[in-house]
Amino acid sequence: MRRTLVDMKPDRFEDIIAIVALYRPGPMDNIPLFCDRKHGREEVEYPHPALSTVLDETYGVIVYQEQVMQIAQLLSGYSLGEADMLRRAMGKKIKSEMDAQRERFHDGAVKFGLTKSRADTIFDLLAKFANYGFNKSHAATYALVSYQTAYLKAHHPHEFFAASMTLDMGNTDKLSEFRREAGKKGIEIVPPCVNKSEVLFSVKDEKVLYGLCAVKGVGRQVAEHIVEVRGDKPFKDLGDFARRVDPRMMNKRTLETPVSAGAFDELAPRRELAFAAIETVIGTARALASERNEGQWNMFDTGEPEPFKLPAGVPALDHDRAGRPRIGGHRIPSVGSSAGCLFGPVRAHARAALERFPSGR
């Protein structure tokens, strides 16, 4: 498609419509002819001089189904209804219908002044095209959307990629494709972060922020809840996160993937510590929620929250000679697209290794 656009050098909206209709199996064979005639490398010719008004905008090349109908009206006196029946018959290729239509076309074309052989030639040309022709009204709609999309990508690239990734956030293959394309344009896709990310993909400081909702296992309700309780006050640490969230909105599995993807990197010294502390976070949130619901009050409460205790003895994340992440000497597969996010080396496969370490509130 890009090569076709380079060759054609469209300079009007009608050219984009033609590209949409031509760039399909069958019509693609006419693309070189269309381009050569557009740029004067080949003379424009028409199947019949009377068809110049119908085929002028496509340089004598039959591109649309509507042109087939117009040609039948012009050369053979078809009514609009008859021309549509001709288009259908040619598309279905039913011999009995084609034979009847050929006879009808001959009769009208002879009255117009064509010879039977010339009428046969034009009818065969129409039949060949109608087998794969595209509707111009549809092509125009697609062309308009294509033009608008290209404009947004060229002039508002950050917003374009944020919107596109939001649209396909359930398709990790598409997200990877958008990320590569953004990288070619020098646009940074920031990994998910509970302190910066919104529910959907967003733009801030000329960067695209990964949407929390796009991380597999999080879900829209959980993402909306995190963003709501965060408000304009970022979480200070894992303890602050546990004190502010509603434990009914999430569980251990809900947090594993975002932690693995790096969404909690700002709240813990090391990602593997955050992963090992997931159960502690959930437990703390449940305990505090229970106290609030029961109206309990601690007479020894100083007003300062109790420090959150991170698990002890968790080995650091390192890498083998090939650059693959390991914990405690055990290799951890990369998160890749299988975890629903494009970032982060720690994943749920580390669960068995991390859950051996003690944690506390």
How many other CB atoms sit within 10 Å of the CB of residue 198?
A: 20
Residue 221 banded pLDDT, cuts 50, 70, 90: very high
Q: Which residue is listed with tokens 């947090």?
A: 255
Biggest CA pair distance of the chain: 107
Summarised one tens digit per residue, pLDDT across range 136-191 is 999 999 999 999 999 999 999 999 999 999 999 888 899 999 999 999 999 999 99
Q: Which two tokens stand for residue 230?
A: 């965060």
pLDDT score recorded for residue 295 = 64
pLDDT score recorded for residue 296 = 58
Strands (E), the chain: 189-190, 202-204, 207-209, 317-319, 325-327, 330-331
In contact, 280 and 309? CB cutoff 8 Å: yes
Residue 90 banded pLDDT, cuts 50, 70, 90: confident
Q: Which two tokens stand for residue 306?
A: 């109790």
**Cα–Cα distance for residue pair 235/274, rounded to 1 Å:** 14
Summarised one tens digit per residue, pLDDT across range 307-358 is 777 777 677 666 555 555 555 554 444 444 434 556 654 444 444 444 544 4
pLDDT score recorded for residue 141 = 96
In contact, 199 and 223? CB cutoff 8 Å: yes
pLDDT surpasses 60 at 298:
no
Q: Which two tokens stand for residue 134?
A: 């595209």
List the domain boundaries for the chain.
Answer: 2-137, 156-354
- Structural Rg of the chain based on CA atoms: 32
Q: Where is pLDDT greater, at 204 or 350? A: 204
pTM of the predicted model as reported, rounded to 2 decimal places = 0.74
pLDDT surpasses 50 at 194:
yes
How many other CB atoms sit within 10 Å of the CB of residue 101?
A: 24
List, edge to edge, every strand of the sheet that includes 207-209. 189-190, 207-209, 202-204
**Cα–Cα distance for residue pair 199/179, rounded to 1 Å:** 18
- Cβ neighbors of 299 (< 8 A, separation 6 or more) are none
- Cβ neighbors of 267 (< 8 A, separation 6 or more) are 194, 195, 235, 236, 237, 238, 240, 241, 274
pLDDT score recorded for residue 209 = 96
Mean pLDDT within 246-267: 90
- Nearest C-alpha neighbor of 271 from the set 259, 254, 282, 283: 259
pLDDT score recorded for residue 1 = 87
